[in-house]
């Protein structure tokens, strides 16, 4: 039995919206294996009765998905949106989609993908080293990516042993010459392929990363020398963010300040250009209720 709306406690900020949303629950029907076989949702506008929309899901006797139909196709009596063929472990090996077409994928004994093919017939193969790290990728039978890891004492000085050293991809090469003790990336170098598509350009674009003692990124220097830094409060939340253009000594604020409530949600935010955003949340659900954005002396946006 549904209580009259006047006896209920709405979580929405205005009664018209509460009236419109009343009596529109989401109902999930489970079988005796606790698998969701039906999901019923109700939708309506101000001047319409609630429209019932049903999703249907079918499972095998082992509990793996066989097909799934949303309300669009289930009501029209057409075949399912998705049909699945699963492995003995429940991984989907083949998927037939009404919109995206058919795709297949194969996994190795560790569960990593080793081959896949999309609806257009394009295929990929993935190779792994003895430690089961990705070592190469082939697209339609042509090698497209190669990955090299540090395994010798030569690379141990920069904390690179066991880490990714080099990644050759269709755009060129990414090298990682230095890591922190905790394995965080400190330096990254990118070289692009030349016009011939075979040799690398001599220009090396280097990015550098700086972290605090807890491993949080605090400053980034990009390939052209621009620097970005962020300041955190005592709770580890973002407090400010600044930008320094290459060749300049001045820091430009991108985010001047940001305040949080006791639940950790943003309440007040001042951007670098002076735009102020104020957030208000429903006390019962903590969902966003209103968002007001202003520039000094001028309202820009009011959402509720």
The total number of residues written for the chain in this structure: 304
- Under DSSP, the state recorded for 200 is B
Give the confidence band of 71 by pLDDT, cuts at 50, 70, 90.
Answer: confident
**pLDDT at residue number 8:** 47
Is residue 249 left, alpha or beta, with left meaning phi > 0 and alpha meaning psi from -120 to 50?
Answer: alpha
What tokens were used for 97?
């989609």
- Residues 195-236 pLDDT 10s: 988 899 999 999 999 999 999 999 999 999 999 999 999 999
Q: Is the pLDDT of residue 61 over 70?
A: yes
Pick the closest to residue 155 from 128, 178, 134, 135 (CA basis): 178
Q: Is the pLDDT of residue 96 over 90?
A: yes
What percent of the chain clears pLDDT 70, i.e. is strictly above it? 93
- Residues 132-162 pLDDT 10s: 999 999 999 999 999 999 987 677 778 999 9
Q: What is the mean pLDDT of the chain?
A: 90
For the segment 95-104, the average pLDDT, to the nearest whole number, is 94
Cα of 182 vs its chain's centroid, Å? 24
**pLDDT at residue number 257:** 96
Q: Per mean pLDDT, which range of 3-7, 95-99, 116-120, 268-272 is the poorest? A: 3-7
Q: Is the pLDDT of residue 4 over 60?
A: no
**pLDDT at residue number 19:** 72
Whether this model's pTM surpasses 0.85:
no
Scored b (16 or more CB within 10 A) or e, 159-171 reads bbbebbbebbeee
- Residues 110-128 pLDDT 10s: 999 999 999 999 999 999 9
């Amino acid at each position: 039995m549904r209580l009259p709306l006047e006896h209920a406690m709405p979580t929405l900020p205005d009664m018209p919206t509460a009236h419109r949303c009343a009596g529109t629950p989401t109902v999930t029907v489970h079988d005796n294996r606790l698998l969701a076989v039906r999901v019923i949702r109700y939708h309506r506008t101000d001047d319409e009765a609630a429209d019932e929309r049903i999703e249907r899901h079918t499972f095998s006797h082992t509990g793996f998905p066989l097909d799934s139909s949303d309300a669009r196709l289930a009501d029209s009596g057409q075949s399912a949106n998705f049909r699945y063929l699963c492995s003995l472990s429940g991984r989907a090996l083949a998927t037939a989609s009404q919109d995206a077409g058919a795709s297949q994928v194969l996994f190795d004994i560790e569960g990593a993908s080793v081959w896949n093919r999309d609806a257009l017939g394009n295929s990929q193969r993935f190779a792994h080293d003895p430690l089961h790290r990705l070592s190469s990728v082939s697209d339609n039978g042509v090698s497209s990516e190669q990955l090299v890891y540090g395994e010798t004492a030569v690379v141990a000085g920069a904390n690179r042993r066991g880490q990714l050293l080099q990644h050759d991809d269709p755009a060129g090469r990414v090298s990682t010459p230095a890591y922190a003790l905790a394995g965080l990336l400190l330096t990254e170098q990118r070289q692009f392929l030349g016009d011939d598509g075979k040799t690398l350009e001599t220009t090396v674009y280097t990015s550098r990363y700086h972290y605090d003692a807890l491993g949080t990124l605090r400053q980034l220097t990009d390939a052209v020398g621009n620097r970005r830094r962020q300041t955190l409060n005592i709770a580890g939340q973002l407090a400010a963010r600044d930008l320094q253009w290459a060749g300049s000594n001045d820091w430009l604020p991108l985010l001047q300040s940001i305040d949080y409530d006791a639940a950790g949600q943003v309440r007040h935010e001042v951007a670098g250009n002076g735009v102020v955003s104020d957030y208000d949340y429903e006390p019962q659900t903590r969902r966003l209720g209103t968002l007001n954005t202003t520039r000094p002396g001028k309202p820009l946006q009011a959402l509720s």
